[in-house]
Amino acid sequence: MLEAKGYAAPSAREALAPYSFERRSPGESDVLIDIQFCGICHSDIHQARDEWGGSIFPMVPGHEIAGVVTAVGAGVTRFKVGDRVGVGCFVDSCGHCPFCESGDDHYCEEGIVQTYNSVGKDGQPTMGGYSDKIVVDENYVLRIPDNLPLDAAAPLLCAGITLYSPLRYWKAGPGKKVAIIGLGGLGHMGVKLAHAMGAEVTVLSQSLSKKEDGLRLGADHFYATSDPETFKKLARSFDLIINTVSAPMDWNQYLTLLKVEGTMAVVGVPEKQIPIGAFSLVVGRRSLAGSMIGSIKETQEMLDFCGKHDIISDIETIAISQVNEAYERILKSDVRYRFVIDMATLKAAA
Ligand code: NAP
Ligand code: ZN
């Protein structure tokens, strides 16, 4: 076993604190990664506070991992020591169901093993990226393009792929009007990616306070949803709306912004069930759909797309000791636009 250090939530009601634990030694097909940076996703907060139920404690969160390979198992063929790599939201799947076989492994029939807050095939709880190192099967490790800095590339591993996948699936591109609700970690990646795909992009934010940023990130239009005029003006406007919000909202009102046959793809996961009237969908043959991260194959495709288009996340780098403070700021929508933990601050504290 390997000694690992990190920060863990001891329970749903306690702050994250330093934590030592063990990781498996690299097996035949494993890669050992020295973690240099880890992004903070809102899902880390949902799970560390057990808002979705079933959380496993103590929990080392983190699924936007960027680092460098320091050792490989004897059977590893795709990576070598020194490679710049990433790990996203899952580290294993069954490998033989129709979804794994067709390249949609994130929808594995037996369920994915999440990077943290899951039980691995060895029966041990998985521990995530707020730590100094991680051991992952090479089939779940991604290559980070050389031109992307590791700190600002880390958020691509979750925020990036979570927006890339629905934008591709619903064919965002020239001639398509796409709206992104919520300019947070996921939302700001959505703006950059949809813009790079050639779509006309609108941000729907609670206020106009992030308007300048939104336009700089690539949006063509920016509206405040606190202004009732926004809903009158934008009625029946969008082919695709991606909803990144994790708080209660008036879903029926937002659905009126879809064109006939438009789709709202839900990626935000609020704690409570979502209330929707049937008329919001039947009038205009509108669709309400969902999307969860992306496959390993598509995640690599997204990273290569970002490498080609020089797309990275706008980040605020923090020391690991600031993680609890960062959680509070995310809850106030006070993040520009992703917190990334510099893991050197964990290693220096030893
Ligand atoms: P985030 O950085 O907190 O961004 C969410 C944004 O939503 C905020 O910046 C804010 O944008 C807006 N918002 C917040 N409260 C709101 C409210 N009361 N009404 C309207 N808008 C509000 O979070 P994130 O990391 O992007 O994650 C967003 C959600 O996606 C979370 O639920 C997370 O668990 C989920 N998620 C899902 C997947 C997936 O695979 N489907 C993957 C990762 C994360 P404005 O300030 O612009 O209004
Ligand atoms: Zn995430």
pLDDT tens profile 164-201: 999 999 999 999 999 999 999 999 999 999 999 999 99
- Per-residue model confidence (pLDDT) at position 215: 98
- Per-residue model confidence (pLDDT) at position 144: 98
For residue 36 the two structure tokens come to: 């240099």
Mutate which of 38, 40, 43, 204 for ligand 1 pocket (most atoms within 8 A of beta carbon): 43
> What is the distance in A from the centroid of ligand 1 to the CA of 331?
9
Yes or no: is domain 160-290 CATH 3.40.50.300? no
For residue 96 the two structure tokens come to: 């033989």
Residues 6+ positions from 123 with CB-CB distance below 8 Å: none
At 170, give phi and psi (nearest 5°). -95, 15
For residue 158 the two structure tokens come to: 């979750």
- Per-residue model confidence (pLDDT) at position 349: 82
> What is the distance in A from the centroid of ligand 2 to the CA of 293?
8
Ligand 1 lined by 263 (C-beta under 6 Å)? no
Strands (E), 170-320: 177-181, 200-205, 221-224, 238-243, 258-266, 287-290, 315-318
Determine the Cα–Cα distance for residues 341 and 131; give it in Å rounded to an integer.
10
- Per-residue model confidence (pLDDT) at position 327: 98
Determine the Cα–Cα distance for residues 259 and 240; give it in Å rounded to an integer.
8
> What is the distance in A from the centroid of ligand 1 to the CA of 270?
9
Condensed to tens digits (0 to 9), the pLDDT of residues 76-126 reads 999 999 999 999 999 999 999 999 999 999 999 999 999 999 999 999 999
Determine the Cα–Cα distance for residues 161 and 116; give it in Å rounded to an integer.
18
> What is the distance in A from the centroid of ligand 2 to the CA of 257?
27
- Per-residue model confidence (pLDDT) at position 296: 98
Strands (E), the chain: 2-8, 17-23, 30-39, 65-72, 84-87, 90-92, 113-114, 133-137, 142-143, 177-181, 200-205, 221-224, 238-243, 258-266, 287-290, 315-318, 338-342
Average pLDDT over residues 21-42: 98
- Per-residue model confidence (pLDDT) at position 180: 98
- Per-residue model confidence (pLDDT) at position 350: 66
DSSP structural state of residue 243: E
Condensed to tens digits (0 to 9), the pLDDT of residues 314-338 reads 999 999 999 999 999 999 999 999 9
Q: What is the mean pLDDT of the chain?
A: 97
CA distances, 111 to each of 93, 95, 165, 280 (Å): 7, 10, 19, 32
What is the share, in percent, of the chain residues with pLDDT greater than 70? 100
Q: What is the pTM of this model?
A: 0.98
- Per-residue model confidence (pLDDT) at position 125: 97
Domains in the chain: boundaries: 2-158+314-349, 160-290
SS3 call for 102 = coil
Yes or no: is domain 2-158+314-349 CATH 3.90.180.10? yes
Ligand 1 lined by 188 (C-beta under 6 Å)? no
Ligand 1 lined by 163 (C-beta under 6 Å)? no
Condensed to tens digits (0 to 9), the pLDDT of residues 215-267 reads 999 999 999 999 999 999 999 999 999 999 999 999 999 999 999 999 999 99
